[in-house]
Amino acid sequence: MAKADGRGRVVAAATDGACSGNPGPGGWGALIRFEDGSVEEFGGADPATTNNRMELQAALEMLERLAELPRHPDLVLRTDSKYLIDGLSSWMPGWKRKGWKTAAGKPVLNQDLWQALDQARLADVPLRYVKGHSGDPDNDRVDQIAVAYSKGTAPRLKRGSQSTPVKAVDPTADDPTSANAPAPAALQQLLTRLELADRLAEGGFALSTVELAQLVEQPLTRLAERQDSWRWRDWLVEPTDGDRWRLRRAEAGSRQSRNPDG
């Protein structure tokens, strides 16, 4: 295990792949969150590929990166690719017994990437399925990165406190007064998180401390110190049994202490 730096351990990871044409030009995206709240994003492109290959490439790049970093014991790799999850968890043992052949006796597609993933997999980092385009902030973000690369543009990537230069995907993006100009990416991501918070509150779903840190974008160490209810934007965050939290819409005029970062 690599030594921890000032960022602490990795608490969240997500990957996605995209392809224009399938086969066609493709891209992949990956995102890592650390205990101190910092984010590291990376991705890449392939001029002639498939969506499945990009999903596998994203996971491979992520696992190789995670192998170099200290990891929180609750860390999971979030992906919307059932192909990736089923391949690693269910299909691969049979492929290997049959000499990398399918049940029909045909060569396994994308064998090179599957074999690399078999070597790179980390026993302490299970895969978890998340439905694509469902409002999951990290899944939406890696999708944006992958799509941008598949279209030949260079997305703005977070690397701790640094960012790489960005190419405008839309010619109106450099003109904030244009009627067609999209909302700034930061506001789009915030809206996604707020919509997700509303659904979590309405459904009464419980979050682990790691998951809550992703939602409110605060260091895990700060949340671990909290014992009582506290306010984040328009929601009360309340502790439940087993180191878990629930969100509840705050009533107007609530006197609960407000999160200074929210």
Average pLDDT of the segment spanning 222-244: 85
Question: pLDDT tens digits for 38-73?
Answer: 999 999 999 999 999 999 999 999 999 999 999 999
- Nearest to 27, CA basis, from 139, 147, 166: 147
Domains and CATH numbers, the chain: 10-163 (3.30.420.10), 185-249 (no CATH)
Average pLDDT of the segment spanning 78-82: 97
| Cβ pair 254, 231 in contact under 8 A | yes
Q: What is the pLDDT of residue 186?
A: 63
Q: What is the pLDDT of residue 175?
A: 46
Q: What is the pLDDT of residue 44?
A: 96
Q: Say whether pLDDT at 242 is over 90.
A: no
Neighbours of 172 (CB within 10 A): 14
SS3 101: strand
Please, where are the H alpha helices in the chain?
Answer: 51-66, 82-86, 92-97, 111-120, 137-150, 185-203, 209-216, 220-224
Tokens read off for 205: 């779903």
Report in angstroms the alpha-carbon separations of 259 from 96, 155, 191, 226, 262. 52, 31, 18, 11, 5
- Nearest to 261, CA basis, from 34, 10, 31, 37: 37
Question: What is the enclosing helix (H) or strand (E) of 44?
Answer: strand 39-49
Q: What is the pLDDT of residue 164?
A: 34
Helical packing angle, 137-150 and 185-203, nearest 10°: 140
Question: pLDDT tens digits for 86-109?
Answer: 999 999 999 999 999 998 999 999
Question: pLDDT tens digits for 126-184?
Answer: 999 999 888 899 999 999 999 999 999 988 898 864 333 333 334 334 444 444 455 55
DSSP letter (8 states) at residue 250: P
SS3 177: coil
| Cβ pair 79, 15 in contact under 8 A | yes
What is d(CA 69, CA 64) in angstroms, rounded to the nearest whole number? 9
Average pLDDT of the segment spanning 186-207: 79
Tokens read off for 33: 């969150």
| Higher local confidence (pLDDT), 234 or 182 | 234
Average pLDDT of the segment spanning 120-128: 97
| Higher local confidence (pLDDT), 251 or 63 | 63
Q: What is the pLDDT of residue 61?
A: 98
pTM, rounded to two decimals? 0.70
Q: What is the pLDDT of residue 193?
A: 78
Question: pLDDT tens digits for 4-32?
Answer: 578 899 999 999 999 998 899 999 999 99
Catalytic residues: 16-17, 55, 80, 133, 143
| Higher local confidence (pLDDT), 250 or 93 | 93
Q: What is the pLDDT of residue 49?
A: 97
Q: What is the pLDDT of residue 96?
A: 95
Q: Say whether pLDDT at 2 is over 70.
A: no
Q: What is the pLDDT of residue 166?
A: 30
